[in-house]
Structure 1
Amino acid sequence: MTDTATVSWPRSGPWPGARRRWLSRGRRAHGGHPTDSLLLHAAVVLVVVTAPIEGYLIDLHPQLGKLPAIVLMATWAGVRIRQRRVSPAPVYLLLAGLAGIVLLSTATHLIAPFSIEYAIRWLPFLVVSALLIDIVATEVSVRVVFVAALAGASIAAVGALISVFVSGDLRAAGPLEDPNDLAYVLTAALPLATACLPAGRTVPLFWRLLPAASAVLLVAGAAVTLSRGGLLAVCAAALWLVARRNLSLRAAGGLCGAVVAVAALVWLFAGSLVTAALGQKTYIAESNIDQRLIRWRAAIEMAGTHPVLGVGPGGFRSEYLPTSHVAEIEELTPVTHNMYLEVAAELGIIGFALFIALIVGAFVYSERALRLGADRRGVVATQAALLAVVVSSVTLSEEYYLPLWSMIAVAYALHLRASRAPDTRMTRGGR
């Protein structure tokens, strides 16, 4: 009978002891070298933890942000060569197809000023997503990915709060240049806290409170970005978690109460700063809406005039001024502020279809994993995080950030783990 630890995390026991058991069971289950699992765990944690704080790494050195992905690729290649195995899955065809469209579109628009630069941004995310699917489907527990994502996002949230209440910024930026991007990263990690709460009465109080404290910190960090997209993402994810019973109304009420208490303290000690920030946000809100509508219309026009391969990666920036008839003379190289329209404009209909298929497939396959016996908390948390990403991306161009690709990877990996362990439906019961 297949070890159920290869499908989901244990439901009881303190986190440190459980971690040791998962690692040892993973090594026994897959028959790899004793160090393989540890190396893959370290590489995955490095990539996921550093993604929300990439800006800090770039501040240290412009190329340092690329190091975690390079480490993951090298580690995966070394381990798989030693194991002499690769586990194929249908999702790799979608990723390979999208990578092919990126390369074809880049080749077609090779002389465009941003084409190669943005192709180099696209391809590593596709490769990292494929590697995460393979690794999380075999050696690394889904919960390890969740804890790493929460840890990195919590560090970013601390940076957001410091940027406002120490540095005096009116809108938090922290490790990322754009407050909206920071809100996106924080809200994408927030639903994962519901799957990181250890179960069982023997679990120490500290381990019970840590995910809740992280959730409050993430909400506070997202709040000081003053991002409307972030607010919508939180609401969408919370409704999904409550509807799917990952978050009880009592727990949701407690979280809201904690957030209100923190907000009251902030207002008490920094009311003037909050007032100034809200005033600035209100002043620019209407112009932001008009600006984004203009860019969306330009993206739609680009997709219509270049339907097959689009205007090339990064092509929206170079084609925006002529397409919009110089609607924004002060903004020479803008972004679309809509992930879907940007992908359609830059990669064409085929690339857009493959991109949407990956996202829709992630929801479908994670639901299938649930029916095959995968842990409900992990599946629903993944879906909620991906929903937060989908909602945020309506007003943001977020295809170049890891939360999208890591949650897509986890969703497909959950299905692969469950489908490769059919005995779990008898041991745990189908859902």
Structure 2
Amino acid sequence: MRMTLGVGVILGMAAFAALASPWPFLAPFVVLGIFVAAALYRHPAWGLFGLTLLVPFEGLFKGSGFSAAKLLGLALIAVLAVRFLLQQTPPQHLRSSLWRFVIPFVLLIVLSLLYTENLSVSLANLRELAIGMTFFVITLLAGRALNLSRLYAGIALSVAATCLIALLSIKYQAGGRAIGLLQDANYFALLIAIAVPAAVLMAVKGSSVLARLFWLAITFLLLAGMTKTDSRSGLLVMVICLAIGIRHHWWRCRRISPKHFGFLMLGLVLVVPVLRYSVPEDYIDRVKSLSVLKSGVNAYQDASIGRRASYLLVGREMIGENPLLGAGPGTFPLHYAQSGYAKAFSAELVNPELYRRAHNTYLEIFAEMGIPAGMVFMLLIIAGLGNFRRARQGFLQQQNRPAAELAVHLGLGLLSIALFMLFLSTPNHKYLWMFLALSSVVRQQAEAVQTHGKHGR
């Protein structure tokens, strides 16, 4: 109580100071800040929920010194730090089986930084990575108070909103490909791949026909956004996750009686042609272009595939030169720019884009931070997926199928990121570190219920 009163007095004085200053228009914002700070202090999970919803809209604030996401993030970090120091947030909330991989990964990054080829580039790279990894700690501290089903639904809605914007506005398209608010079609496809399992889950567990129809519409909007991105990797990731999802929900298919089979076939007859003719021909041609891989990579047939092959060659050379600690965080673009592939595969002739990332998170970590760091990072991802699997098993043993389905679909979200990282360099993605932390939260929830049930018996 004294702490809250003290903070209120300080902020009140700040409001009066703003009124007396040359910028009196700041006073209402100070008052608003009082209420926001008080709400965050009582309910830190609300801040995490807000940060999660703002991730798809970060492109709107790119380049700005202050944005809603940055201010909310800083406020939430300060609130969580104060609550942790005052022991209002139990230290047990930080408990996670993933620390055994996160801590060695951080130590290996520091060692790589000490022997980096370019300190300024490495520091800038680590700054971005640190922002993403902060989500891991924030989610561990605040995630247990969240309704994870609503959180996942919020992700689906926020990504669907950016899909709608990208489909309706040419401003958020580049070369005919939807880029959303992130300035890159593949990064936009990554968000959609994360959101689709969430929308499908909401459609499956909808409490009414209208709710299910709404979430089916959201799902189709996300699929339309994915086709507009022309992302072949996005399609591949979605097909893999769809197959795993069908395997989990196969018990629902068994409930279809013979009298429903005719309606199911009629639905397929109507939906399949619509999907076929709604997909742009350019997207179909891009998918068909993958057939060139059967006869080896030919840069003249598909420059994109040839360019990705060149990343592998440069990365292999970097790993051979510095296998233990790598060349330093963020140095892959420097090595690629010095290779002959940079100019050969540049799309611009006047101002060639030479400094390119590896477009493969695992390759980039192996090349920049060394083989040990790459192995630890891969084990971290595998352990996170394992947490979701164990949570599913625990909930099924308790016959809590809704919780088991939520664990599966959250796991599909992490799997989407893990697969997409084969095609994108995004080790700092906020959703990656958030889903890793959620894997620990969900597993601990399943194990806590099991332990409580044993004691109860």
Same fold, TM-score > 0.5, yes or no: yes
Looking at structure 2, the residues matched to 144 and 184 of structure 1 have their Cα atoms a distance apart, in angstroms, of 20
Distance 1:170 1:247, change over 3 A: farther
Cα distance per residue 1:15-52 (max 9 Å; x no partner): xxxxxxxxxxxxxxxxxxx9678622221112211112
Structure 1 counterpart of 2:405, one-letter code:
R
1:237 aligns with 2:241: yes
Give the match for residue 106 of structure 1: 113
1:417 aligns with 2:445: yes
Structure 2 counterpart of 1:116, one-letter code:
L
Question: Is the 2:238–2:416 contact (alpha carbons within 8 Å) kept by the matching residues of 1?
Answer: yes
Question: Is the 2:342–2:355 contact (alpha carbons within 8 Å) kept by the matching residues of 1?
Answer: no
Per-residue deviation at 1:75?
A: 3.2
Structure 1 counterpart of 2:134, one-letter code:
V
Structure 2 counterpart of 1:388, one-letter code:
S
SS in 2 for 1:311: coil
In structure 2, stretches of 5+ residues that fail to align are: 1-37, 257-262, 290-298, 347-351
Per-residue deviation at 1:239?
A: 0.3
Give the counterpart of 2:214 among 176, 191, 210: 210
Looking at structure 1, the residues matched to 300 and 214 of structure 2 have their Cα atoms a distance apart, in angstroms, of 37
Looking at structure 2, the residues matched to 247 and 181 of structure 1 have their Cα atoms a distance apart, in angstroms, of 34
Per-residue deviation at 1:345?
A: 0.8
Structure 2 counterpart of 1:86, one-letter code:
P
Looking at structure 2, the residues matched to 74 and 307 of structure 1 have their Cα atoms a distance apart, in angstroms, of 39
Distance 1:256 1:404, change over 3 A: farther
Give the counterpart of 2:353 among 320, 324, 331: 331
Distance 1:325 1:219, change over 3 A: closer
Give the match for residue 318 of structure 1: 334
1:299 aligns with 2:315: yes
Moved more, 310-319 or 106-115: 106-115
Distance 1:306 1:420, change over 3 A: same
Question: Is the 1:170–1:277 contact (alpha carbons within 8 Å) kept by the matching residues of 2?
Answer: no
Distance 1:71 1:259, change over 3 A: farther
Question: Is the 1:163–1:174 contact (alpha carbons within 8 Å) kept by the matching residues of 2?
Answer: no
1:155 aligns with 2:161: yes
Give the match for residue 50 of structure 1: 54
Question: Is the 1:193–1:215 contact (alpha carbons within 8 Å) kept by the matching residues of 2?
Answer: yes
Per-residue deviation at 1:132?
A: 1.0
How is 1:352-363 mapped onto 2 (pairs within 5 angstroms)? 352-363=374-385
Distance 1:382 1:199, change over 3 A: closer
Question: Is the 2:133–2:428 contact (alpha carbons within 8 Å) kept by the matching residues of 1?
Answer: no
Distance 1:308 1:151, change over 3 A: same
Distance 1:255 1:359, change over 3 A: farther
Per-residue deviation at 1:128?
A: 0.9
Give the match for residue 134 of structure 1: 141
Give the counterpart of 1:195 among 191, 201, 211: 201
Question: Is the 1:242–1:248 contact (alpha carbons within 8 Å) kept by the matching residues of 2?
Answer: no
Question: Is the 2:315–2:367 contact (alpha carbons within 8 Å) kept by the matching residues of 1?
Answer: yes
Per-residue deviation at 1:313?
A: 1.5
Looking at structure 2, the residues matched to 85 and 303 of structure 1 have their Cα atoms a distance apart, in angstroms, of 42
How is 1:261-410 mapped onto 2 (pairs within 5 angstroms)? 261=274, 264=277, 274=280, 286-322=302-338, 328=344, 330-373=352-395, 375-410=403-438
Per-residue deviation at 1:54?
A: 1.1
1:186 aligns with 2:192: yes
Structure 2 counterpart of 1:72, one-letter code:
L
Give the match for residue 5 of structure 1: none
Cα distance per residue 1:300-335 (max 9 Å; x no partner): 221221122211221101122335676647332101
Looking at structure 2, the residues matched to 278 and 372 of structure 1 have their Cα atoms a distance apart, in angstroms, of 41
Looking at structure 1, the residues matched to 59 and 308 of structure 2 have their Cα atoms a distance apart, in angstroms, of 25
Give the match for residue 85 of structure 1: 90
Distance 1:98 1:404, change over 3 A: same
Cα RMSD (Å): 3.5
SS in 2 for 1:114: helix
Cα distance per residue 1:102-133 (max 9 Å; x no partner): 23322322734521111001112112113213
Structure 1 counterpart of 2:326, one-letter code:
G
Distance 1:372 1:276, change over 3 A: closer
Moved more, 138-147 or 354-363: 138-147
Higher helix share: 2
Looking at structure 1, the residues matched to 456 and 270 of structure 2 have their Cα atoms a distance apart, in angstroms, of 35
Distance 1:352 1:277, change over 3 A: closer
Structure 1 counterpart of 2:428, one-letter code:
Y
Question: Is the 2:196–2:222 contact (alpha carbons within 8 Å) kept by the matching residues of 1?
Answer: yes
Task: Report the count of equivalent residues.
Answer: 385
Per-residue deviation at 1:187?
A: 0.8
Structure 1 counterpart of 2:374, one-letter code:
F
Distance 1:284 1:126, change over 3 A: farther
Looking at structure 2, the residues matched to 256 and 95 of structure 1 have their Cα atoms a distance apart, in angstroms, of 49
Looking at structure 2, the residues matched to 177 and 279 of structure 1 have their Cα atoms a distance apart, in angstroms, of 23
Looking at structure 1, the residues matched to 138 and 269 of structure 2 have their Cα atoms a distance apart, in angstroms, of 37
Per-residue deviation at 1:413?
A: 1.5
Per-residue deviation at 1:291?
A: 0.8
Structure 1 counterpart of 2:234, one-letter code:
G
Per-residue deviation at 1:232?
A: 0.2
Looking at structure 2, the residues matched to 116 and 405 of structure 1 have their Cα atoms a distance apart, in angstroms, of 20
In structure 1, stretches of 5+ residues that fail to align are: 1-33, 268-273
Looking at structure 2, the residues matched to 224 and 109 of structure 1 have their Cα atoms a distance apart, in angstroms, of 40
Per-residue deviation at 1:100?
A: 2.5
Cα distance per residue 1:78-104 (max 9 Å; x no partner): 333340521223322322322232233
Looking at structure 2, the residues matched to 237 and 319 of structure 1 have their Cα atoms a distance apart, in angstroms, of 34
Q: Identity rate of aligned residues, in percent? A: 21
Distance 1:306 1:257, change over 3 A: farther
Structure 1 counterpart of 2:47, one-letter code:
A
Distance 1:416 1:173, change over 3 A: same
Give the match for residue 270 of structure 1: none
